[in-house]
Amino acid sequence: MGDRQNNYDVIVIGGGHNGLVNAAYLARAGKKVIVLEQRHLIGGASVTEEIYPGFNYTVMSYVVSLLRPEIIRDLDLPKHGLRILPLESTLTPLPNGDFLYRDSDHYRTFRDIARFSPRDAEAYEEYSQAMFFMAKAVKYLLGIIPPDPATFQPRDLGGLLGLARHLLGLNERDRYMLAKLMTMSSADFVEQWFESEPLKATLAASGIIGTYLGVRSPGTAYVLLHHYMGEIDGQFRAWGFAKGGTGGIANAIGNAARAFGAEIHTSARVSQVIVNKGQATGVTLEGGDEIDADVIVSSLDPKRTFLELVDKTFLPEDLVNGIRKFSVRGSSAKVNLALDGVPELACQPGFGRHLAGAISISPDLDYLEMAYDDAKYGDFSRRPYIDIIIPSMIDPDMAPPGKHVMSCFVQYAPYQLREGTWDKKRDALGDIVIDTLAQYFPNIKDLILHRQVVTPLDTEHLIGLSQGNIFQGELSLSQLFFLRPAAGYAQYRTPIKGYYQCGSGTHPGGGITGAPGRLAALEILRDEK
Amino acid sequence: MLLPTPFHPKTSLLNENNEWRNWSGFMVAGTYEPTHEREYYAIRNAAALIDVSPLYKYDLLGQDAERLVNKIVTRNVKKCDLGQIMYSPWCDENGHMIDDGTIWRLAENHFRITAADPNLRWFEDCGFGLDCLVADVSNELAALALQGPNSRPILREVTTGIELENIGYYRLASTTIAGIPLTITRTGFTGDLGFELWFSPEYAERMWDVLMEVGYRYGLLPAGMVALDIARIEAGLLLIEVDYISSTRALIDSRKSTPFDAGLAWTVALDKGSFVGRKALRAEAARGNRWALVGLEIDWPVLESLFAVQDLPPLVAGRASREAVPVYNENGRQIGQATSRTFSPILKKYIALATVESEFAQEGFPLSIEVTVEFTRQQCPARVISIPFYDPVHKRK
């Protein structure tokens, strides 16, 4: 790459967290990098916006755990404003006025689970330990380029050998457990330990987040594990809330990228990647402007990366087919609320730290599975699973003093509706969510100053995630590791020279990990040598 | 038996753990909640209310008050304006630190000194022959530290008639809160924006209620010593009996520290005229100090790998440690000790305050620190970095 004045070494398409991580790593390596983001602000799905004056919504993603510690360190993100505040508890309110509460107080949690089942309380310890070992086992995968078992290239063989060595290093129990996790449903998985419904349902719910599957669908146990792989400060499974919402994470990464010399342009939508003789040479912006670079990295989802940004004639048939079949069915919605005061739980009235954790509407497994039943046939759930946090209880700067914002992750809301359109049904979904909330928070309706309903269609339109899938593609076994996004194309390269992919649609997948962005950057730098 | 502080009727209701620390014979909360994390982040991200009543407080009043204070402390208090506060250590005749604290100028002839240890006798003895009364007002003043970026908006709601923006860093003002007369100082032990409130103990419970009632809307939480200890290490603030030993308690001379040893050279005004310890300190200034206080950043990836050998995650996150551990140079020779260590949640770094031979005190110097991994002593690389580790702009704004 030469030293050029008006053009760049690298263009990163999309200013979501992975695009920004990718840009920061490449800029850190001395590349002249420009990030092109279509919206007026960076972050992609990791974004905080003042939708209602004075109230900051975590519009899409809302919590963090998976952000890789090496990225935090390499990019010195704390210096650039990253603050991860603790999110210590999970409260599951029940329709009968009872609740299950788990937090960092070990014995209190034990006692509370024991109210439902003394056996579960004891099993909880064993489960936690098993999940610790599982998270440790798969942590290895988060840091490696997925080796392709079909190529027989030395590097892939080396990678497979490393993987084999890693798996053999696990003890027998963990290897069996890993096999189960990869294949079971999350409901069956947790039922190996537990018998009480609120606990089973709340744990199993992690297995359906962002997927178009139910808690009893095989493969969801892996998604559950995916949510357990995070670590904060060396503590596995810890979840946190970023100061300023998840937009605070994107801003910190953006600041780091800029500090390394990257330029970030917003309101700059790329319409086409320019390809000359099999080599990507630049991009065309929506207004017609062209920017040249030797390396073009797309952080967009695989559908957009391969089927929209480039002329399909440059791509082999197997890839086009693979990407066309790549499942990106959106299944979730967000409802964000501005509240005039403290939302009080019927089961635990008053103000307190139980409101500063997660609140999960997941009373029992049947509730969750029935929510999926609606979705299977193209309806949104009449009684949805809702994962609630009240960001202003954790970071008071999210709302004016004494006021609150509430973030509700809602499932299921299928992208493809059986009847009608999301534009017509958006409010109906919002009403269902509010009615569900009102069962548990009796004062909620009186407090609502503003509500934002983000359907999968809105996610697609606003952020550009195809079909509104929050992971840029379902985290099913058939779409992971060397199969993500397509067999033979899982190592961040594409058949077009100089064109790379770095979004959540690549290994190791979705969530605010930064891992795809980082691994792609390392591969790009490797190709240079 | 530990004594209750004036806030005990309030703090004891909030202390879920019943975890109390002994601070000068008083009961103060270690943590209020099962873990200290939310309390720590309240200090750094919102606001925290900390009972600091056990501090010793002395009033020095009289014609010679300025002379006496200048004789006791190493800073030059002639430069301390009315309403100004100075941080300073004070030393014995050999220049060894006895204690450290804040010096307030309440009036031309009226100073107040806060201290970690009892100092009445020492101050009185220093004042022999001078026209200055030394009064121990420790039990006449309840003290609350209101610390964190939201401390000012909270105070703004409860105070009347003063502009909080005008209370500069290390300045004080008098006002009322809910009719309670008090002194507000722009001080604290957290290295964040913060204030300390001083008032008669009879109003303690009411003051607590007023602040909590307004504060909860700003994320105010009561915070205990565990959270405070992490914050003060991040701020690079020394703790007596941990980072240095008072010369009045040290059993052997080698345990004593001069301000130069403790990184407090900036507090020693050798040219201000006579003060206790000046001769010794002047000699040391000429000779060079043997020890230096440094910040250390422990190499986290290496630390992780040391634990990984045992198949463990790095088991260091959590509370601050006050157990001193050896610090080595590159040749493996012990050149000092790390006296306070903590994982800094806000910096995501494992940091330590250490006293090392002064030739190793340069920033960036590669040293190593002892860590215990699965009952085995190991050395982990650590780099000298500048303190304070955490120094937000809003602290002084």
Q: Which residues of B touch A174 (CB under 8 A)?
A: none
* Selection from A239, A448, A201, A247 nearest residue A357 by Cα: A239
Question: What does each C-alpha distance from A323 to A283, A496, A520, B107, B288 come to in angstroms?
Answer: 21, 15, 19, 78, 70
Q: Identify the closest residue of chain A to B313 by CA–CA distance.
A: A234
Q: Does residue A218 form part of some domain?
A: yes
A95 belongs to a structural domain: no
Q: Which of B41, B155, B192 to mutate to test the interface with A (most CBs of A within 10 A)?
A: B41
Residue A237 exposed, middle or buried by CB count within 10 Å (0-12, 13-18, 19+): middle
Same domain, A141 and A170: yes
B219 vs A396: CB contact, 8 Å cut-off?
A: yes
Q: Does the residue A18 lie in any domain?
A: yes
Query: Which of B36, B348, B350, B391 has the highest number of chain A CBs within 10 A, making it the mutation to test binding with A?
Result: B348
A-chain residues near B218 (CB < 8 A): 396, 401
Task: Judge contact between B351 and B329, C-beta under 8 A.
Answer: no
Nearest to B198 by CA among B146, B135, B136, B120: B146
Residue of A nearest to B149 (CA): A397
Percent of chain B at pLDDT > 70 equals 100
Shortest CA gap B310–chain A (Å): 13
* Domain edge (last residue) among A435, A463, A491: A463
Residue A449 shares a structural domain with residue A521 = no
Beta strand B110-115 with B47-51 is unpaired
CB B379 within 8 A of CB B370: yes
B46 vs A402: CB contact, 8 Å cut-off?
Answer: no
Q: Which residues of A touch B44 (CB under 8 A)?
A: 83
How far is it, in rounded angstroms, from Cα A411 to Cα A511? 16
A288 and A186, same domain (yes or no) = no
pLDDT of B190 = 98
Which of B216, B301, B345 is opposite residue A351, by nearest beta carbon? B216
Domain of residue A519: give its range. Answer: 8-46+65-82+243-326+472-528
A94: which 2 tokens?
């029940």
pLDDT over 80 at B193, yes or no: yes
Q: Do A353 and B346 touch (CB under 8 A)?
A: no
Q: Are residues A370 and A442 in the same domain?
A: yes
Which residue in chain A is spatially nearest to B300 when comparing CA positions?
A: A73
Res. B167 pLDDT band, cuts 50 70 90: very high
Examine residue A93 and state whether it is found in any structural domain, yes or no: no
Instruction: Give the span between the Cα atoms of B144 and B175, in whole angstroms.
Output: 15
Is position A91 within any domain?
Answer: no
A-B interface: how many C-beta pairs under 8 angstroms?
65
Distance from CA of A338 to the nearest CA of B (A): 15
A436 with A384: CB under 8 angstroms? yes
**Buried-exposed string B278-309: b where 16+ CB fall within 10 A, e elsewhere:** bebbeebeeeebebbbbbbbbbbeebbebbee
- At residue B291 the predicted structure's pLDDT band, cuts being 50, 70 and 90, is very high
Shortest distance, CA A284 to any CA of chain B (angstroms): 40
Instruction: Report the DSSP beta bridge partners of residue B342.
Output: B351
Nearest to A371 by CA among A195, A187, A102, A193: A187
Q: A105 to chain B: which residues are within 8 Å by CB?
A: 16, 34-35
Best of B212, B217, B221, B380 to substitute, by most chain A Cβ atoms within 10 angstroms, is: B217
> Which pLDDT score, from 0 to 100, does residue A5 have?
43
Mean pLDDT for back-to-back runs of 10 residues, chain A (529 residues): 63 98 98 98 97 97 88 94 92 97 92 98 93 84 90 91 89 89 94 98 95 95 85 68 96 98 97 96 94 97 97 94 95 98 96 96 98 97 98 97 98 96 97 98 98 98 96 91 93 97 95 95 93
User: How far apart, in whole angstroms, are the C-alpha atoms of residue B269 and residue A495?
Assistant: 71
- CATH number of domain containing A290: 3.50.50.60
Give the best residue of A70, A85, A355 to mutate against chain B (max B CB count within 10 A): A85
Cβ-defined contact of A233 to B345 (cutoff 8 Å):
yes
Contacts of A88 in chain B (CB under 8 A): 35, 37-38
**Same-domain status, A285 and A367:** no
* Claim to verify: residue A388 and residue A413 sit in the same structural domain: yes
Nearest CA in chain A to B315: A234
Question: Cβ separation of A69 and B33 shorter than 8 Å?
Answer: no
CA distance B205 to B354: 39
In a shared domain, residues A210 and A319: no
Within 8 A of B301 by CB-CB distance, chain A residues are 70, 73
- A104 within domain boundaries: no
pLDDT at site A136: 81
Give this prediction's pTM: 0.95
Q: Averaged over B19-43, what is the pLDDT?
A: 96
pLDDT for position A2 = 38
Give every CB contact of residue A83 below 8 A, 6+ residues apart in sequence.
A242, A243, A244, A248, B44, B45, B346
The Cα of A342 is separated from the nearest Cα of chain B by a number of Å equal to: 10
For residue A57, being part of any structural domain is answered with no
Give Cα separations from B135 to B58, B69, B85, B111 (angstroms).
5, 13, 19, 11
Nearest to B37 among A86, A401, A402 (CB): A86
Supply B279's token pair: 């001769």
Interfacial residues of A (vs B; Cβ cutoff 8 Å): 69-70, 72-73, 77-78, 83-86, 88, 103-106, 108, 136, 231, 233-236, 243, 351, 353, 356, 395-396, 401-402
Domain stop point among A445, A463, A481: A463
> Over chain B, what is the mean pLDDT?
96
Contacting residues of B for A401, CB less than 8 Å apart? 153, 217-218
Composition of chain B by helix, strand, coil, percent to 5 = 30, 35, 40
The verdict on a CB contact (< 8 Å) between A401 and B343 is: no
For residues A357 and A402, membership in a common domain is answered with: yes
The model's pLDDT over B292-350, given as tens digits with 9 standing for 90+, comes to 999 999 999 999 999 989 988 888 767 899 899 999 999 999 999 999 999 999 998 99
Q: Are residues A396 and A361 in the same domain?
A: yes
Task: Give the pair of three-digit tokens for residue B195.
Answer: 């204030």
Q: Three-class SS of residue B280?
A: helix
Residue of B38, B43, B309 for testing the chain A interface, max A β-carbons within 10 Å = B38
Cβ <8 Å between B153 and A395:
no
Least CB-CB distance to A105: which of B34, B217, B345? B34
Tokens of A133: 């070992």
What structural domains and CATH numbers belong to chain B? 8-53+141-223 (3.30.1360.120), 57-136+258-286 (3.30.70.1400), 291-394 (2.40.30.110)
Asked whether the beta carbons of residue B219 and residue A243 sit closer than 8 angstroms, the reply is no
Question: In this structure, are A435 and A485 located in the same domain?
Answer: no
Which of A69, A104, A401 is opposite residue B218, by nearest beta carbon? A401
In the 8-state DSSP scheme, what is residue A306? I
Asked if A396 and B304 come within 8 Å (Cβ–Cβ), the reply is no
Q: How far is A351 from chain B (nearest CA, A)?
A: 9
Q: Kindly list the residues of chain B whose beta carbon comes within 8 Å of any beta carbon in chain A.
A: 16, 33-35, 37-38, 41, 44-46, 150, 153, 216-219, 300-301, 304, 313-317, 343, 345-349
CB A422 within 8 A of CB A409: no
Q: Are residues A171 and A278 in the same domain?
A: no
CA distance B278 to chain A (A): 40
- Per-residue CA distances from A132 to A193, A228, A234, A390, B313 (Å): 15, 8, 12, 27, 10
CA distance B51 to chain A (A): 21
Residues in B closer than 8 angstroms to A340, CB to CB, are none
Give B346 to chain A, closest Cα distance, Å. Answer: 6
- Counting Cα atoms < 13 Å in the Cβ hemisphere of A279 gives 6
**Cα gap A379→B277, rounded to integer Å:** 82
Rounded to an integer, what distance in angstroms lies between the CA atom of residue A19 and that of residue A13?
Answer: 7
User: Is residue A273 domain-resident?
Assistant: yes
Residue B76 has pLDDT above 80, yes or no: yes
Together in a domain, A484 and A394: no
Residues B217, A395: C-beta atoms closer than 8 Å: no
Contact B346 A78 (CB under 8 A): yes
Q: Is A493 helix (H, G, I), strand (E, B) or coil?
A: strand
ipTM given for this complex:
0.93
Split into its structural domains, chain A has a count of: 3
Shortest Cα–Cα distance, A233 to chain B (Å): 7
